[in-house]
Amino acid sequence: MAELSTIARPYALGLWKALVECQHTAQAGEVQSILDALSEVTRDERVAELVNDPKVTDEQMFDLLAGSLGQDVPAEMNGLLRTVIENGRLCVLPEIAAQFRALKNESEGVADAYIETAYALTKKDVEQLLESLKNKFPGVTLNPIVSINKELIGGVSIRVGDQVLDGSVRARLAQLQATLTA
């Protein structure tokens, strides 16, 4: 079976192109929020049961998911949702959301900086960390997404796109172990 990213790419790209063609790129943030909300809904076990229920029609599934949003949904988003449902690809929505976010960020000159730390960081700590990363990622505005991972022991691990900067104690110990066993 194809990887989720391979399946999701044309959907995310199609949605982005539809927004660009209709000159609705200002709605990209709203569409991203909707994609994130739909991703959460589709992860629910009860929704998964309905997806696999042959008695539930595509139109009923669309009404259920669109109704769960509780807001007006842009036409481009409705089109994507209908297409995903008709093609049996609801499980791919989280990856579509991730790839759409990447397209949106790229167009805005923004990159998500996933920051893992062993302990909670203050707002000032995050700002200082982002300031120190400006030289590593020139011309890009970093959007920090901070999470706590006690397994790091100390330090931080940062992922921006496909680049990883791992300054955690766990990584240093792994390096030391590799050196000692080599």
- What CATH number is given to the structural domain containing 15? 1.10.520.20
Cβ-based neighbour number of residue 112 at 10 Å: 16
Residues 66 and 96 in one domain: yes
End position of a domain, from candidates 106, 134, 152: 106
The two beta strands, 156-160 and 141-148, are unpaired
Domain that holds residue 142: 109-181
Q: How would you classify residue 23: left for phi > 0, otherwise alpha for psi between -120 and 50, otherwise beta?
A: left
Domain count for the chain, please give it: 2
Closest CA to 115 of 123, 107, 104: 123
Give me 38's structure tokens: 């739909």
Give the predicted TM-score (pTM) of the model: 0.73
pLDDT tens track of the chain, all 182 residues? Answer: 468 889 999 999 999 998 888 887 778 888 899 999 999 888 888 888 888 888 889 999 998 888 888 777 788 888 899 999 999 898 899 999 999 998 998 888 898 999 999 889 999 999 999 999 988 888 889 999 999 998 888 889 999 988 898 888 888 888 889 999 97
Residues 17 and 95 in one domain: yes
Helices (H), 44-155: 45-51, 58-69, 75-86, 93-108, 123-133
Residues 56 and 24 in one domain: yes
Residues 48 and 79 in one domain: yes
